[in-house]
Amino acid sequence: MSAGKVEDREEAAAPLGPFGECPLPIFEHPQIVLGHGSGGKLSAELIEKVFVSRFRNATLEKMDDQAVLEIGGARLAFTTDSFVVTPIFFPGGDIGTLAVNGTVNDLAMGGAKPLYLAAAFILEEGLAATDLARVVDSMAAAAQNAGVQFVTGDTKVVNRGKGDKVFITTTGIGLVDRGTQLSADRVRPGDKILLSGTIGDHGITILSQREGLEFESALESDCTPLNGLVSAMLDEAQSANAITDLRVMRDPTRGGVATVLNEIAVRSRVGMVLRENMIPVRDTVRGACEMLGLDPLYVANEGKLVAIVAPAIADRVLDVMRRHPLGADSVIIGEAIEQPAGMVLMKTSVGGTRVVDVLFGEQLPRIC
Amino acid sequence: MKYLDEYRDGDIAAKLVERIKRMQTRPWVIMEVCGGQTHSIVKNGIDHLLPKGVELVHGPGCPVCVTPLEMIDKAHAIARRPDVIFCSFGDMLRVPGSDGDLFSIKSSVGDVRVVYSPLDCIKIARANPDKQVVFFAIGFETTAPANAMLAWQARQMGLTNVSLLVSHVLVPPAIEAILSSPQNRVQGYLGPGHVCAVVGYAEYEPLAARFHVPIVVTGFEPLDILEGVLMVIDQLESGRADVENQYSRVLDRGGNRPAQDLIGKVFEVSDRKWRGVGMIPRSGFQLRDEFRAFDAEHRFSVQAIDTMEPAVCISGQILQGIKKPHDCPAFGTECNPQHPLGATMVSAEGACAAYYAYGRHLKDADLVTLGDNR
């Protein structure tokens, strides 16, 4: 680079606003960056600006993890999800189990009984056939475990270097056979926030397997289908004649619990207060997060759910969750409040209060 | 969790706050030097636990924030080269240079990788013998031993495809610059625990004596910070100005000798530019002549890049503790982590980013009321 380049920059910087003296970065990225897939603000901006603005309709605008559609008198839940993960095999699962459970869980969070799945595979030239068979075996086992069937699919192969071993998209359909009204805009002040167990297990497991970050741990991904747990919760609410007291359920995958709660707080126009010392985090996950400067509230889960329920049935629902093997560590981590609407606060364990905001892009490990 | 929960106990925190309140008779301004301390203070809401008259101001100890613009531009020029794998600590990827950031380069022309340890570069270099592997060696004394180890091992192994782009800075010259400024408001310091774990704290003693300021080397957990504040106030109230060690479970006066030996073999003290502050004499490290072959600035001929630092930028005043993030009219509005206008908003350790992430963009009074209601 020459001195001329520097002069160009200074000239270009001169007409900027009151903070023109500061180096104004171009954050309107002209190309897609990894942060667009993080689940944070960059993702939200991409979805709104590129997709929702063009596809706009009432169902899409609900922005839930699944669409619930009335077709021929039946209520059907419908969802799709793509799976890209490195490495494709990891402790506690692989890309196949993720692809089944992720879509099953998105259906279950809408109060649906998951029924049928479709799978589309993008395979990279050179992928070992045995690896593919292993992934598909996992998918078959996971489908059986979740009580769903694959009924259609598609396969494409791309040149070596144009993919990363295997990308899988699964689409699912399920039947909403109860009077549930689960949606992110239904939370009211006073509602309780329930969490089904420890957070961050999946994200830290994947991180620990990546090249360049080798730390030993016995940690496993929590990847699992949650439809059984959800079904038990729905049964309980129904028997209490309070099915609509279940306001919303979400599986806090990418972006973690913090991102999901912020989305709900904004959609329902309520505030939330969490209690830090109630949020269960395994020591290994906490240790890794401390070491890397990450916050477990933003780390991905693949087998946990957050449910927000009316205070009247909170204890009953919590009780039934704790009796289920996938919800043994369930806790009430906080509640909805009136103000500040659209924000999530947390009482820290030392007695301070902070805001739990949405991340802007990827969570980056800090230097020291 | 052992060694963490003990230092985050709410009851002990309340007792420490009580002792601070009893001890303090007048207002004091205390600077925490290290970005990790700033992060912990706002993440745990410690500043809201302290009595009104105890003001914490955030110091220059964020390595991402103080790396000068011209080094970022040099890094970007190298990272754009097709023959280079550019390796960096994660939070450098978002720091804006004159033209974009490393994320943009990664998404378009460059091979940019996040590493967790500088020594990962050795593995990458061996796996990619036809590529030049460049590590962005930034940071304070804390990261210096690991960065020095990279140069040391690369030379021992005779690796010709490893180099370091060095932008190392030192804490004591920065403290000296702040204390020498006519605008200085800082009356006492929480010294940088991690830095002193490497180099010890003997070199802070002349500073404490010359400027008559207490310096308490302090850790990073909530109770560490509260105890550090208590120790500084104890000195201020009694008119003492000593260097004390709150973080004795980790460090002593002499620091880590093997680490210091290694730093001394690889690096030598040099003048350095600081983003938002300017040139500070003898305030950083450069590679010694014996390691010049591993200097990426020479290898890729980027020494000539000499971007002018902006003349007036509030992030410089924030780094020196003269102003606080919400003294800035752009804070939380035009300037936020998505659209950072200055370096202190870029890194998670930067005072502005930490304030933003943990909600200090609300008025303090709002938060305290909300907290107390619950």
CATH code of the domain containing B146: 3.40.50.11740
Does the A62-175 domain belong in CATH 2.40.160.20? no
Q: Which residues of A touch B96 (CB under 8 A)?
A: 23-26
Q: Which domain holds residue B293?
A: 67-170+255-299
B100 in Cβ contact with A30 (< 8 Å): no
CA distance to A50, A55, A263, A294, A340, per residue, from A195 (Å): 32, 33, 16, 20, 22
- Flag if B44 and A32 touch (Cβ within 8 Å): no
* pLDDT on residue A365: 63
> Residue A17's pLDDT is what?
29
Q: Is the pLDDT of residue B337 over 90?
A: no
Q: What percent of chain B has pLDDT over 70?
A: 91
Residues of B in contact with A352 (CB under 8 A): 44-46, 48-49, 371
Distance from CA of B215 to the nearest CA of A (A): 21
pLDDT mean across residues, chain B: 88
Query: Looking at the DSSP assignment, which residues form a beta bridge with residue B86?
Result: B112, B134
Examine residue B282 and state whether it is found in any structural domain, yes or no. yes
Using DSSP's 3-state secondary structure scheme, residue A307 falls into strand
Q: Are A286 and A219 in contact (CB under 8 A)?
A: no
- Which helix (H) or strand (E) segment is A58 a member of? helix A58-61
Kindly report the nearest CA distance between residue B44 and chain A, in angstroms.
Answer: 6
What are the φ/ψ torsions at residue A207 (nearest 5 degrees)? -60, -40
Taking an 8 Å cut-off on Cβ atoms, the answer to whether B304 and A19 are in contact is no
Contacts of A334 (CB under 8 A, 6+ apart): A192, A193, A272, A273, A274, A275, A278, A346
Domain assignment present for B343: no
**Is the CB of residue B266 less than 8 Å away from at least one CB of chain A?**
no
Q: Are B89 and B115 in contact (CB under 8 A)?
A: yes
Q: What pLDDT does residue B362 have?
A: 57
Test the B interface: residue of A335, A353, A358 with most B CBs within 10 Å? A353
Do the beta carbons of residue A117 and residue A150 sit within 8 Å?
yes
Q: DSSP assignment, residue A197?
A: S
Model pLDDT, residue A49: 85
At B34 the pLDDT is 92
Name chain A contacts of B91, Cβ cutoff 8 Å: 364-367
Distance CA A207, CA B31 (A): 35
Q: Tell me which amino acid residue A206 is.
A: I
Smallest CA-to-CA distance from B290 within B193, B178, B174, B151 is with B151
* Per-residue model confidence as pLDDT tens digits over A253-286: 999 999 999 999 999 999 999 999 999 999 999 9
| Alpha-carbon distance B98 to nearest alpha carbon in chain A (angstroms) | 7
Confidence of residue B250 (pLDDT cuts 50, 70, 90): very high
Our CA-based measurement puts residue A265 at a distance from the nearest CA of chain B, in whole angstroms, of 15
pTM given for the model: 0.81
Q: Per-residue confidence at B309, pLDDT binned at 50, 70, 90?
A: low
What confidence score (pLDDT) does residue B349 get? 66
From B122, which residue of chain A is nearest by alpha-carbon distance? A212
Q: Is the pLDDT of residue B345 over 70?
A: yes
A158 CB neighbour count, 10 Å cutoff: 13
Among candidates B8, B97, B348 on the partner chain, residue whose Cβ is nearest the Cβ of A293:
B348
Residue of chain A whose alpha carbon sits nearest to that of B346: A25
Contact A6 B338 (CB under 8 A): no
What percentage of chain B carries pLDDT values higher than 90?
Answer: 60
Rounded mean pLDDT of A106-122? 97
Cβ of B115 within 8 Å of Cβ of A212? The answer is yes
pLDDT tens digits for B121-160?
A: 999 999 999 999 999 999 999 999 999 999 999 999 999 9
Model pLDDT for residues A165-224, shown as the tens digit of each residue = 999 999 999 999 999 999 999 999 999 999 999 999 999 998 888 755 666 667 899 999
Kindly provide the b/e burial profile for residues B23-38, where b requires at least 16 CB atoms within 10 angstroms of the residue's own CB.
ebeeebbbbbbbbbbb
Q: Which of residues 76-105 of B touch A (CB under 8 A)?
A: 77, 89-94, 96-101, 103-104
A41, closest residue in chain B (CA to CA) = B338
Q: Do B103 and A355 touch (CB under 8 A)?
A: no
- pLDDT bucket at A25, cuts 50 / 70 / 90: very low
Pairing of strands B28-34, B54-61: parallel
B159, part of any domain: yes
* pLDDT per position as a tens digit, B183-242: 899 999 999 999 999 999 999 999 999 999 999 999 999 999 999 999 999 999 999 999
Q: What is the 3-state secondary structure (H, E, C) of chain B?
A: CCCCHHHCCHHHHHHHHHHHHHHCCCCEEEEEEEHHHHHHHHHHCHHHHCCCCEEEEEEEECHHHHCCHHHHHHHHHHHCCCCEEEEECHHHCCCCCCCCCHHHHHHHCCEEEECCCCCHHHHHHHHCCCCEEEEEEEECCCCHHHHHHHHHHHHHCCCCCEEEEEEEECHHHHHHHHHHCCCCCCCEEEEEHHHHHHHCCHHHHHHHHHHCCCEEEECCCHHHHHHHHHHHHHHHHHCCCCEEECCCCCCCCCCCHHHHHHHHHHEEEEEEEECCCEEEEEEEEEECHHHHHHEHHHHCCCCCCCCCCCCCCHHHHHHCCCCCHHHCCCECCCEECCECCCHHHCCCCCHHHHHHHCCCCCCHHHHHHHHHHC
Chain B residues touching A271 at Cβ < 8 A: 370
Q: Write the DSSP symbol of residue A301.
A: -
Question: Would you say residue A57 has pLDDT above 60?
Answer: yes
Asked if residue B365 has pLDDT above 70, the reply is no
B contact test, residue of A259, A348, A349 with most B CBs within 10 A: A348
Q: What's the mean pLDDT in A291-299? A: 89
| Yes or no, beta carbons of A22 and B315 under 8 Å apart | yes
What does the pLDDT read at residue B372?
38
Within a domain: B131: yes
> Distance between CA B105 and CA B98 in Å, rounded?
13
CATH 3.90.650.10 residue window(s) in chain A: 192-355
| Distance of alpha carbon A328 from alpha carbon B89, whole angstroms | 38
> Which chain A residue has its CA at the smallest distance from B369's CA?
A353
- Strands (E) across chain A are located at 67-71, 74-83, 89-90, 93-94, 113-124, 149-158, 166-175, 192-195, 246-250, 271-275, 306-309, 331-337, 344-347, 353-355
Tokens found for residue B308: 């002018």
From residue A274, alpha-carbon distances to A348, A356, B12 in Å are 9, 9, 21
Environment class of A144 (CB within 10 Å of its CB; exposed 0-12, middle 13-18, buried 19+)? exposed
Spatial separation of the C-alpha atoms in residues B272 and B137, rounded to whole Å: 14
DSSP-derived 3-state class of residue A317: helix
Residue B4 is predicted with a pLDDT of 77
Judging contacts by C-beta atoms under 8 Å, the chain A residues touching residue B89 are: 365-367
**Does the CA dihedral B282-B183-B316-B193 come out positive or negative?**
positive
Contact between chains at B139 and A27 (C-beta distance less than 8 A): no
Confidence of residue B6 (pLDDT cuts 50, 70, 90): confident
**What gap in Å lies between CA B32 and CA B288, rounded to an integer?**
31
Q: Which residue of B has its CA nearest to A45?
A: B338
What are the beta bridge partners of residue A67?
A: A78
**A308, A313, A319, A325: CA torsion to nearest 10:** -40
DSSP state of A233: H
Domain count along chain B: 1
Interface test with B, best of A9, A350, A354, A366 (most B CBs within 10 A): A350
- Highest CATH level, class, for A192-355: alpha beta
Contact A364 B371 (CB under 8 A): no
CA-to-CA separations, A158 to A51, A86, A126, A278, B299, in angstroms, rounded: 25, 18, 10, 47, 38
Looking at chain A, the domain(s) classified CATH 3.30.1330.10 span: 62-175
- Domain membership flag for residue B203: no
CB count, 10 Å around CB of B156?
8
| A23 contact residues in B (CB cutoff 8 A) | 69, 96-98, 310, 342-343
C-alpha span between B297 and B78 (Å, rounded):
9
In a domain, B43, yes or no: no
In this prediction, residues A327-356 reach a mean pLDDT of 93
* Å between B281 CA and nearest CA of chain A: 24
